[in-house]
Structure 1
Amino acid sequence: MNRLFTWLVVGAMVLGVLVGWAINVNFSADQAKEIAGNLSIITDIFLRLIKMIIAPLVFTTLVAGIAHMGDASEVGRVGVKTIFWFICASIVSLLLGLVMVHLLQPGVGLHQATDAAAATTAVDMSKFTLREFVTHLVPSSIFDAMARNEILQIVVFSVFVGTAVSAIDDRAPAVLTAVEQGATIMLKVTGYVMKTAPFAIFAALAASIATRGVEVIFTYAKFVGGFYLSLTILWGLLILAGVIIAGPRVLKLIGQIRAPTLLAFSTASSEAAYPRTLEELQKWGISRKVASFVLPLGYSFNLDGSMMYCTFATLFIAQVYGIEMTIAQQITMLGLLMVTSKGMAGVPRASLVVIAATLTFFDLPEAGIALILAVDHLLDMGRSATNVVGNSVASAVVAKWENEIQEPAAGPAQA
């Protein structure tokens, strides 16, 4: 069934590109935009279905997982190991983006007209402050957090609830049973929603190609190609680290998550792949308590593809304008991005916001944002897929450190 789903996803991607290209060639710009708008209805419905199940799924699986950990010290130990891996992966992602943009020089010789108005309206930096980031960590209301799908806030609340349940002598059996049954139900609902994924993938790609055409790929070929080459290397490094730490079976894990990875790629949303990724991690053998703890945390703090893009795109803009940054400035930039990238969760168009903040900090032309807007969606597809791979490897590594990798026959029900 998993292999059939993968082929359906691939087929939907190919068909979407072909149909989008045909619309772009045979219809006027206004007609193509109208058709794309109608196609986007399908994608919007699918993404709304995904958002519908994210909050209850994260809450139930995380509370159940933490409740089975035993006590607060175990939660703290797993948390420290998880954050340690996230920091290491972040450093590798940022450094790789820095090295690759210097080797490939994608911005040299590219003189595109910029639209300053587009640059200023593309991102909203009003909420991108230290105060907003810190206060954003804690929900004022769990119902409000769930209504807005604020994963990080749901994680914070779930950690408190799960720890409280595990601290009670009898572990509140009625509550724990209800939470576990809720998780099982939400995973079943996820299966129903995922059956509609190929239709959403087709619509998303067809709409994107219909309005922008394939020409945009050739205009920015060096930038897009260089970034995807960098992502490929990052995948290789992450998988290699996973194999070294967790063993050769990590290669099988990468095979198992191909469907959610393709889903994230084609919809440009790693959130869309969350439910299926969680399911596949448990099928591979990662215990529910580790998978349900590391994965949602990773969606807030371990966006490997997005972090590498911030370095790559910032220096690309500097190259386009012929601005040389000193070694000290580049090291400072890495440190700045290391901190600011952790505030991406909950910020609309997060990568662009972080890049805009970095440009402002180093007095680089903010209009450079307009340069990457044309291909941002195309690059977001690669970033989203990379985030899925990075968080899957992180879950496997932490599970290995905690001795929580089980044989596949144990199934996802094991905790």
Structure 2
Amino acid sequence: MTNRNRLTTYILVGLVLGIVVGYVANTNMADPAGFADKMSLVTTLFLRMIKMVIAPLVFSTLVVGIAKMGDAKEVGRIGVKALGWFIIASLISLTLGLILVNIFRPGDAMALSGHVPAATASSGITTTGFTLADFVNHLVPASIVDGMAKNEILQIVIFSIFFGTGAAAVGARAAPLVDAIDGVAHVMLKVTSYVMNFAPIAVFAAVASTIAKSGVGVIATYGLFMGEFYISMVLLWLLLILIGVVFVGPRILKLIAMLREPTILAFTCASSEAAYPKTLEGLERFGVKNRLAAFVLPIGYSFNLDGSMLYCTFASIFIAQAYGIELPLSTQLTMMLVLMLTSKGIAGVPRASLVVIAATLNQFHIPEAGLLLLLGIDHFLDMGRSATNVIGNGIATAVVAKWEGELGQPVAEEKDMSTATLR
């Protein structure tokens, strides 16, 4: 068994043990909420270690990749292709969520169950409206130090593009600096491998905390909604993989296999950010040149959250159904376009999907209190969203690499990526 397969096995073991311990704590402890809070500290520590790695990893790999491209036109061309794919993928995800929620109509069953909160109840979620000024202010960092301190991936990408392009333009005089940053990238990949050793413990703590606090009963109460949502996720996976086969060929299935570990990690930790380093590694093992993967993947983390897109339309219409509000097709299509825009303006916001949904509900006069239907199960839903985001961004990067002729042969499984050459 390779180290990679062993880690995956340990993560799954942590998941199962977390469910068992969480159930025991919820049913036998006098203060399961206190136990859950203590366990969540372990997960928080792990996620903070991941965030510690992401900013320098994104900066170093992206700068080296762009500097070695040496052509600003090439960077622009790849960026346009990536954004074009992201827009199409987001529209597909939003549309699929809209279609399936109208077919399944999970809100009708919730309305009959009598669990719908009063329309005047407070959800506790602060809404965030979308304006062009907010997006521009969020796009470009006033200071790269501030952007890195806050782990604003999009801002780090913008600065890295300028920095890498400048280094390429300077040429030989910048070579020592590029080599030094290349060394930083390899060090950060090695640090990532150290941090990932704690993943099984973090997964155990995250699942135990959630089950201890909410209990397995919450799954039974919302079982129909959760089941139909996960069916929708599976259908989105199949659709994205099918599109990937069209552009990349059958070998896209090998990519899905190589992304198994980061997908499981994102699912169990309910964080696609936690899976970023391993996703980057999986793409390079698949044959995507590091300079391209390091460029496309961070942008995807801000613009191509396919799982979150599907959830936004699915959950928004679900809440309307639960309150007996029938929205005409024209209104639903308008809502979809609004979600397309608002979701791009709040990258990096905590509980971003709920914030986007809250803002959308207000605009379409749907009771914001409906968010209370989601709060208790949001962690379980976020697990599916995060895993889907990893798959969506992996396929997107592979497709752009194929378009650019930057998709080579897969790298051997046993190869240590921390010692690989950034290409």
Note whether the superposition's TM-score is higher than 0.5.
Answer: yes
2:381 to 379, 382, 393: 379
Secondary structure at 1:408's aligned position in 2?
coil
What's the C-alpha RMSD, in Å, of the aligned pairs?
Answer: 1.5
Give runs of aligned pairs for residues 21-40 of structure 1, distance below 5 A. 21-28=23-30, 31-40=31-40
Structure 2 equivalent of residue 86 of structure 1: 86
Structure 2 equivalent of residue 204 of structure 1: 206
Contact 2:128 2:355 in 1 (8 A): no
Question: 1-side partners of 2:11 and 2:393: how far apart?
Answer: 21
Structure 2 equivalent of residue 404 of structure 1: 406
Question: 2-side partners of 1:362 and 1:125: how far apart?
Answer: 13
Contact 1:53 1:186 in 2 (8 A): yes
Give runs of aligned pairs for residues 172-251 of structure 1, distance below 5 A. 172-251=174-253
**One-letter code of the match for 1:150?**
E
Give runs of aligned pairs for residues 61-100 of structure 1, distance below 5 A. 61-100=61-100
Contact 1:101 1:315 in 2 (8 A): yes
> Aligned-pair distance for 1:170?
2.2
Structure 2 equivalent of residue 112 of structure 1: 115
* Structure 1 residues 338 and 298, CA gap change in structure 2 (3 angstroms): same
Question: 2-side partners of 1:124 and 1:162: how far apart?
Answer: 37
**One-letter code of the match for 1:98?**
L
**Range moving further from structure 2, 267-276 or 165-174:** 165-174
> Aligned-pair distance for 1:67?
1.1
Structure 1 equivalent of residue 299 of structure 2: 297
> Aligned-pair distance for 1:323?
0.6
Contact 1:46 1:200 in 2 (8 A): yes
> Aligned-pair distance for 1:408?
2.2
Which deviations, in whole Å up to 9, do the C-alpha atoms of 1:119-151 show, x marking residues without a partner?
Answer: 442x22357543222211010110011111111
Secondary structure at 2:103's aligned position in 1?
helix
Question: 1-side partners of 2:53 and 2:167: how far apart?
Answer: 23
Question: 1-side partners of 2:20 and 2:403: how far apart?
Answer: 45
> Aligned-pair distance for 1:117?
8.1
* Structure 1 residues 390 and 409, CA gap change in structure 2 (3 angstroms): closer
* Structure 1 residues 145 and 117, CA gap change in structure 2 (3 angstroms): farther
TM-score, reference length from structure 1: 0.96
Secondary structure at 1:325's aligned position in 2?
coil
Structure 1 equivalent of residue 20 of structure 2: 18
Which deviations, in whole Å up to 9, do the C-alpha atoms of 1:274-307 show, x marking residues without a partner?
Answer: 0111111111111001100111000000000001
2:316 to 314, 317, 327: 314
Contact 2:64 2:291 in 1 (8 A): yes
Question: 1-side partners of 2:87 and 2:289: how far apart?
Answer: 23
4+ residue runs over 6 A deviation: 115-118
* Structure 1 residues 115 and 266, CA gap change in structure 2 (3 angstroms): farther
Question: 2-side partners of 1:189 and 1:195: how far apart?
Answer: 10
> Aligned-pair distance for 1:113?
3.8
Question: 2-side partners of 1:209 and 1:190: how far apart?
Answer: 28
Structure 2 residue 156 is the aligned partner of structure 1 residue 148: no
Structure 2 residue 332 is the aligned partner of structure 1 residue 324: no
Question: 2-side partners of 1:80 and 1:67: how far apart?
Answer: 18
Structure 2 residue 52 is the aligned partner of structure 1 residue 44: no
Which deviations, in whole Å up to 9, do the C-alpha atoms of 1:233-262 show, x marking residues without a partner?
Answer: 001111111111112111111111111111
> Aligned-pair distance for 1:346?
2.1
**One-letter code of the match for 2:229?**
F
Question: 2-side partners of 1:9 and 1:166: how far apart?
Answer: 41
> Aligned-pair distance for 1:154?
0.5
Structure 2 equivalent of residue 348 of structure 1: 350
Contact 1:55 1:151 in 2 (8 A): yes
Structure 2 residue 421 is the aligned partner of structure 1 residue 413: yes
* Structure 1 residues 107 and 45, CA gap change in structure 2 (3 angstroms): same
Which deviations, in whole Å up to 9, do the C-alpha atoms of 1:43-90 show, x marking residues without a partner?
Answer: 111011001111000000011111122211000000010001101100
Secondary structure at 1:343's aligned position in 2?
coil
**One-letter code of the match for 1:413?**
T
Which deviations, in whole Å up to 9, do the C-alpha atoms of 1:296-334 show, x marking residues without a partner?
Answer: 000000000001100000000010011110111011111
**One-letter code of the match for 2:101?**
V
Question: 1-side partners of 2:381 and 2:346: how far apart?
Answer: 17
Question: 2-side partners of 1:119 and 1:399: how far apart?
Answer: 46
Question: 2-side partners of 1:329 and 1:171: how far apart?
Answer: 57
Structure 2's unaligned 5+ residue stretches are none
Secondary structure at 1:107's aligned position in 2?
helix
* Structure 1 residues 385 and 165, CA gap change in structure 2 (3 angstroms): same
Which deviations, in whole Å up to 9, do the C-alpha atoms of 1:125-183 show, x marking residues without a partner?
Answer: 35754322221101011001111111111011001101111122326101110111110
Structure 2 equivalent of residue 368 of structure 1: 370
Identity of aligned residues (%): 56
> Aligned-pair distance for 1:367?
0.9
Secondary structure at 2:324's aligned position in 1?
coil
> Aligned-pair distance for 1:414?
4.9
Contact 1:344 1:350 in 2 (8 A): yes
Which deviations, in whole Å up to 9, do the C-alpha atoms of 1:12-64 show, x marking residues without a partner?
Answer: 11111111011111123xx1111111211211110110011110000000111
Secondary structure at 1:68's aligned position in 2?
helix
Secondary structure at 1:153's aligned position in 2?
helix
* Structure 1 residues 139 and 198, CA gap change in structure 2 (3 angstroms): same
Question: 2-side partners of 1:346 and 1:39: how far apart?
Answer: 24
Contact 1:119 1:368 in 2 (8 A): no
